[in-house]
Structure 1
Amino acid sequence: MSNTLPKIAFITGVTGQDGAYLSEFLLKKGYIVHGLKRRSSLFNTDRIDHLYQDPHMENQNFILHYGDMTDSTNLIRLIKDIQPDEIYNLAAMSHVAVSFETPEYTGNADGLGTLRILDAVRLLGLEKKTRIYQASTSELYGKVQEVPQSETTPFFPRSPYAVAKMYAYWITVNYREAYGMYACNGILFNHESPIRGETFVTRKITRATARIALGLQDKLYLGNLDAQRDWGHAKDYVRMMWMILQADEAEDWVIATGKTTPVRDFVRMSFAEVGIELEFRGEGIGEKAYVKACNDARFRIQIGKEVLAVDPKYFRPTEVDLLIGDASKAKNKLGWECQYNLQDLVKDMMQSDLKLMQKDQYLKDGGYNTLNYFE
């Protein structure tokens, strides 16, 4: 019987998509996982409820702590008490469009929040014990300078979110070089799942597709249908986060599929999963999508029905038109490979959202009110 103590991980942003999948992944590997969550008047732990343990139990391996990336005192105290072997800094104000509305908070949480984590580890003398993963983003590339984007591609951020993340990226590099800390950036391209936040474009699409097919929603409004993104499955990406911190040397890594898809095609694929074929007409803000055929008897949707329109309010002040990553370094040096392709991802998301919306349909048919969300 091994006497080796389990590794201890501290995950900020534990209630988010990546935090939930990473927690599950690490727990299966025998880690003790501590997570940081913000205080809210509502329970906001839906994604991790299946991992939750009664706080009154002894010998827990999944422990949640209240805190905030803007509170350095709180972060120092928690890191001192937890003594983590690995820190995964996933917490962020991560909605690009909203960052234009809250630029100061975004800079504080996403940029300075990363500095607070790094400096807490340094001040506590944990530089040699604790390895740090910083969740970086493909939004750093913004107005892309080369295609595809790799670890050596110049950054050109196009939003307050991306600018804050660029500070976080470089302060991570600086602390690694200045203090010999094991601190890495994972430049993650877009990664989705059935538990992606409902306001992000992919989940907005799959959720609306299910609702439209079931007659619960009339149409979907989107912004730039020509925007192209490199979409992967979050499960593949959290596995790579862990692999990054197991490497002998601290480096920065691109995590991507290497394939890019227009938003329009993601819409088309989502509707196809429920047997609905779309026809797109028009251009720019006048573009619309109509039902061309429905091959699934479960859904009685009218042929010719308009199900998608473009709303200019969803265009960003500074658009990012094309992102496609080159993860050759991760594949060659760490052996990382995607286990899900885009079709797998869309199918996974649509099956999940269809089940969720069927519950709403059941309640509505029974005379009960259901919540309608419009973003």
Structure 2
Amino acid sequence: MATILITGISGQDGSYLAEQLREEGHAVVGLLRKGRTAPVRRVDGVEYAEWDFADVAALRGLLQSLRPAAFYNLAAFSTGAGMYDDAVAIGEFNGIAVARMLQAIVETDSLIRFCQASSSEMFGDPVDAPQHETTPFRPQSPYGAAKLFAHTAIRACRERHGAFACSAILYNHESPRRGPAFVTRKIADAVARIHAGDREPLPLGNLEARRDWGYAPDYVRAMRLMLAQDRADDYVVATGQLHSVREFCEVAFSHAGLDYRDWVKDNAADLRHDARGPLVGDAARARDRLGWRPTKDFEALVRLMVDASIASLAAKDSMS
């Protein structure tokens, strides 16, 4: 079949994408940042290459050698608890590096189809809700600003060079593969350990914070559908529904026969004041043009993550 190039292959989205592509018989190459160790989460049959995300000539050489039909950029850099520290590195990796990818494609083979994992953070403090593809962007962080630079570069490359380049404006999406630093995974893991007999409560910040949460494999599928179209465009990928951290806790703990009010404690150190308008997406364009719809609702997603955390903890206990 085709050769597909993926950055960020060790993350939740990259691993799901690689698995879906391998199931269809495609050759998948994971593009790792030069000097980094190979990803812990590996997909059978995936090969790996390295690039420093800075040398356009080196990327041109890789593209000439691999001849990919498609290039998915799922890599992104963020820092610690927020998207504000080390603005230079964030801008370089999440913004300028994407312009380098586009330049290498145009100079090597403009038929390579490109998909960028953009972010709802580009809307920042949105002027209205829900947001759609024509909602004005108002990023409030270096992360959102860098993603907007990349988004703008993609549109310019599409219009000036005729490249098949798309932005997937992704809202929050979760899965059992979500990193342990994210609040959704923290909650699922806490339910698992408390269900197993641990008595330590879970400290959380703002339980009223609300997000548009979807299921990661669904969002990966949307990106694949974007590159299967006759014309390149940008698409909001979202559920269109807001749920609070409190609701996530309620569903997660009750799924294990627990009451979250007995185990979740306020933690002022984790409290982040967020006066922005609600980030909730309108995926009408994706529904109408791509035929895309989420396969899992909010409660099913939460239960899936809790079940996975319980099973993972049980497997670790059996090995110890």
Range into which the TM-score falls when normalised by the shorter chain: over 0.9
Displacement after TM superposition at 1:316 (Å): 4.5
Call closer, same or farther: CA 1:178–1:313 in 2, change over 3 Å. farther
Taking the TM superposition and a 5 Å limit, the aligned residue runs for 1:274-285 are 274-278=256-260
Taking the TM superposition and a 5 Å limit, the aligned residue runs for 1:239-318 are 239-278=221-260, 290-291=261-262, 307-316=263-272
Residue 26 (structure 1) aligned to one of 12, 18, 21: 21
Tell me the TM-score normalized by structure 1: 0.80
Taking the TM superposition and a 5 Å limit, the aligned residue runs for 1:163-174 are 163-174=145-156
Contiguous gaps of at least 5 residues in structure 2: none
Aligned partner letter, 2:259: E
Taking the TM superposition and a 5 Å limit, the aligned residue runs for 1:1-375 are 6-38=1-33, 44-46=39-41, 48=42, 51-53=43-45, 62-94=46-78, 97-124=81-108, 126-127=109-110, 129-216=111-198, 218-278=200-260, 290-291=261-262, 307-316=263-272, 320=276, 322-362=278-318
RMSD of the alignment, in Å?
A: 2.0
- Comparing 206-215 with 83-92, greater Cα deviation is found at 206-215
Q: Would you say how many aligned residue pairs link Structure 1 and Structure 2?
A: 320
Call closer, same or farther: CA 1:99–1:69 in 2, change over 3 Å. farther
Tell me the TM-score normalized by structure 2: 0.93
Task: Determine the C-alpha separation between the residues in 2 that align with 1:319 and 1:70.
Answer: 36
What's the secondary structure of 2:282's corresponding residue? coil
Call closer, same or farther: CA 1:116–1:355 in 2, change over 3 Å. same
Displacement after TM superposition at 1:81 (Å): 1.4
Deviations 1:17-44 (A, max 9, x none): 1000001111122211111123567653
Displacement after TM superposition at 1:170 (Å): 0.6
Rg larger in structure? 1
Aligned 8 A contact 1:36 1:67 in 2: yes
Contiguous gaps of at least 5 residues in structure 1: 1-5, 54-61, 279-289, 292-306, 369-375
Call closer, same or farther: CA 1:353–1:74 in 2, change over 3 Å. farther
Deviations 1:87-118 (A, max 9, x none): 11101114683432222211111001111110
Displacement after TM superposition at 1:350 (Å): 0.7
Identity %: 38
Task: Determine the C-alpha separation between the residues in 2 that align with 1:72 and 1:311.
Answer: 45
- Comparing 66-75 with 153-162, greater Cα deviation is found at 66-75
What's the secondary structure of 1:97's corresponding residue? coil
Displacement after TM superposition at 1:264 (Å): 1.2
Task: Determine the C-alpha separation between the residues in 2 that align with 1:274 and 1:204.
Answer: 15
Aligned partner letter, 2:5: F
Aligned partner letter, 2:209: A
Deviations 1:38-90 (A, max 9, x none): 356765322x2xx234xxxxxxxx21112333443443332221111111110
